């Protein structure tokens, strides 16, 4: 399973090789907060075919949101951009919106619409 890093590498840090990575070890910034976080991404339905796998793991810059994760897949997976507007997203088994902030070790599920319509439309109907 590939691990990807989204965001620029901070100055003074070298790129890590896969054998440099130790589970549970984080790089910390000036404020004492981790620079990166690790998330697990699950693909369902037709997204599995588009991504070519059922799950992925990403290292994201701390402070990243669901929107940042979606932008990554929209630009790196062929055909993904076209379905972004109709996706439902869940973080740790709770439905969320793109502005939701992610945390280290979150599990993000990307769900295509089952019976048509869009997730945004469903949110407006429920309010």
Strand 36-43 to 55-61 pairing: antiparallel
70 assigned to some structural domain: yes
2 assigned to some structural domain: no
Q: For residue 36, what pLDDT band results from cuts at 50, 70 and 90? A: confident
Domain region containing 119: 34-126
Q: How far is CA 52 from CA 47, 62, 71, 77, in A?
A: 8, 27, 18, 9
Residue 1: per-residue pLDDT:
41
20 assigned to some structural domain: no
- pLDDT exceeds 90 at position 24: no
25 assigned to some structural domain: no
CATH for 87: 3.10.20.30
Give Cβ neighbours of residue 31 (< 8 Å, ≥ 6 apart): none
Q: What phi and psi values does residue 78 have, to the nearest 5 degrees?
A: -60, 130
For residues 124 and 101, what is the distance between their CA atoms, to the nearest angstrom? 21
Residue 54: per-residue pLDDT:
96
- pLDDT exceeds 60 at position 21: no
Count the Cβ atoms, other than its own, within 10 Å of residue 100.
18
Number of domains the chain contains: 1
12 assigned to some structural domain: no
């Amino acid at each position: 399973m590939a691990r990807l890093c989204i965001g620029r590498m901070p100055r003074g840090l070298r790129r890590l090789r896969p054998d440099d990575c130790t589970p549970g070890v984080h790089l910390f910034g000036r404020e004492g907060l981790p620079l990166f976080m690790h998330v697990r991404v699950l693909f369902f339905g037709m997204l599995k075919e588009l991504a070519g796998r059922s799950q992925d793991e990403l290292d994201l810059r701390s402070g990243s949101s669901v929107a940042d994760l979606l932008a990554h897949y929209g630009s790196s997976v062929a055909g993904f951009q076209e379905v972004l507007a109709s996706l439902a997203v869940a973080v740790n088994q709770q439905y969320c919106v793109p502005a939701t902030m992610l945390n280290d070790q979150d599990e993000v599920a990307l769900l295509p619409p089952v019976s048509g319509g869009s997730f945004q439309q469903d949110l407006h109907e429920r309010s």
